[in-house]
Amino acid sequence: SSQQEMLQAREKWGITLTQNSYGIPVSYYFSVLNRLTYSASDYNLDLLSTTYPTLTHVFAAGNDGTACSTESEEVYGMPRYGTASTRAKNAIHVGAVNLYGEMSEFSSWGPQDDGRLFPTLCAKGVDVFSTMPGNGYKAEDGTSMACPTVSGTAALITERYAQLNQGRELPSALLRGLLANTATDAGRPGPDFQYGYGVMDAERATIALEQECYAQSEVEQGKTNTLTVKLP
């Protein structure tokens, strides 16, 4: 399985990121949309995330936003909602916007079947100039085009963290938090089921890392813990 391959790559080469421009084609399952839920592959991804806390998975959100309009309206009350292609709890899910940060016509929206936020954030996925088979180039659309931009940015932030922290690996939870909380808000104010936390801002995420605008701690069940974090 994909998760076994990821595990082998982690153990053999010490990878800290996986880039995944694929997912369930929701349009194939529109008649059972209300039965799409947390799967074995999602569980195995989350198991990898908890086993290796510095291994981050980045997934394309899917391109089925308009594929199941009638069915999604029946289940979620509005067309296009609930068309998430993956349901792992500890992955970064990437939606697609155009050059101006406007929502694409195809990007899949949340929520997840249990109400969780989806996507995590968005990046440019419309008219993206990329490589093609046969040593060529072409402009393409899709969340699969937006996802590598986030993965590449995550790789650079991971490298920068290692430079600032004696070569240590960047915790996945911190990487996800940096990218999400420094994104440029879009759509409805605050996190929403269309843009997630907003459109990725690579520069702001890096500045937040370099200025240590974060804190890490643990809290026991039933107790509180107060942390002070400076803003970038």
CA angle 118/87/91 to nearest 5° reads: 75
Sign of torsion over alpha carbons 187, 189, 193, 196 = positive
The pLDDT value given to residue 232: 65
Q: In Å, how far are 61, 105, 176, 191 from 154, measured between CA atoms?
A: 17, 26, 9, 20
Q: Partners of 102 in the beta sheet?
A: none
pLDDT for the residue numbered 25: 80
For the whole model, what pTM was predicted? Answer: 0.92
d(CA 194, CA 120): 9
Please name the amino acid found at residue 74. E
Cross-strand bridge partners of residue 121: 94
Q: 10 Å Cβ neighbour count for 75?
A: 16
For helices 172-181 and 143-164, what crossing angle results, to 10°?
120
Q: What is the mean pLDDT of each run of 10 residues along the chain (232 residues)?
A: 94 97 80 81 95 97 87 84 91 97 95 94 96 94 97 98 97 97 96 98 97 88 81 66
Cα(124)–Cα(153) distance, integer angstroms: 13
Q: What is the pLDDT of residue 77?
A: 86
pLDDT for 44 equals: 95
pLDDT per residue over 98-143, tens digit each? Answer: 999 999 999 999 999 899 999 999 999 999 999 999 999 999 999 9
Asked if residue 84 lies in contact with residue 62, where contact means CB atoms within 8 angstroms, the answer is yes
Give me 94's structure tokens.
């990437």
- Asked whether the beta carbons of 16 and 170 are under 8 A apart, the reply is yes
Tokens 């070569």 belong to: 167
- pLDDT score of 215: 87
